[in-house]
Amino acid sequence: MKLLNTAAGNTKILKSQTGTEYRIASLSLMPDFKICPNSQNADCFTLCLKSSGRGQMNSVAKGRQNKTDYWHFDRDGFLAQLKKEIAAFEKLCAKQGKLAAFRLNTISDIPWEKYGIPQAFPNSKFYDYCKSANRLGKTPENYDLMFSFSDAPKYQRQVERALKTDAPMAVVFRGFVPVGNHFMGREIIDGDKSDLENLKAHGKVVGLKIKGNAATKNSTSPFIVDPGQTSPCPSQMHRACNPQNLASAGRGFAIAAE
Handedness of CA 229, 232, 236, 239 (dihedral sign): negative
**Extents of the domains making up the chain:** 4-257
Please give the full DSSP string across 90-125, using - where no structure is assigned: HHHHHHTT-EEEEE--SS----GGGGTHHHH-TTSE
Flag the least confident range among 8-17, 62-71, 138-147, 157-166: 8-17
> Which of 37, 75, 15, 111 minimizes the C-alpha distance to 126?
111
Question: What was the pLDDT predicted at 56?
Answer: 54
Flag the least confident range among 98-102, 149-153, 166-170, 211-215: 211-215
Helix (H, G, I), strand (E, B) or coil at 74: coil
Helix (H, G, I), strand (E, B) or coil at 56: helix
Residue 10 DSSP class = S
Q: Is the pLDDT of residue 247 over 70?
A: no
Q: Is the pLDDT of residue 215 over 80?
A: no
Flag the least confident range among 6-15, 55-64, 198-207, 217-226: 55-64
Question: What was the pLDDT predicted at 62?
Answer: 93
Top pLDDT among 240 and 85 is at 85
Burial 195-231 (b: 16+ CB within 10 A, else e): bbebbebeebbbbbebeeeeebeebebbbbbeeebbb
Query: Is residue 58 a contact partner of residue 39, using CB atoms and an 8 Å limit?
Result: no
Kindly report the pTM of this predicted structure: 0.85
Question: What was the pLDDT predicted at 211?
Answer: 80
Average pLDDT, the chain: 86
Query: Is residue 249 a contact partner of residue 234, using CB atoms and an 8 Å limit?
Result: no
What's the rounded Cα separation, in Å, for the pair 90 and 95?
9
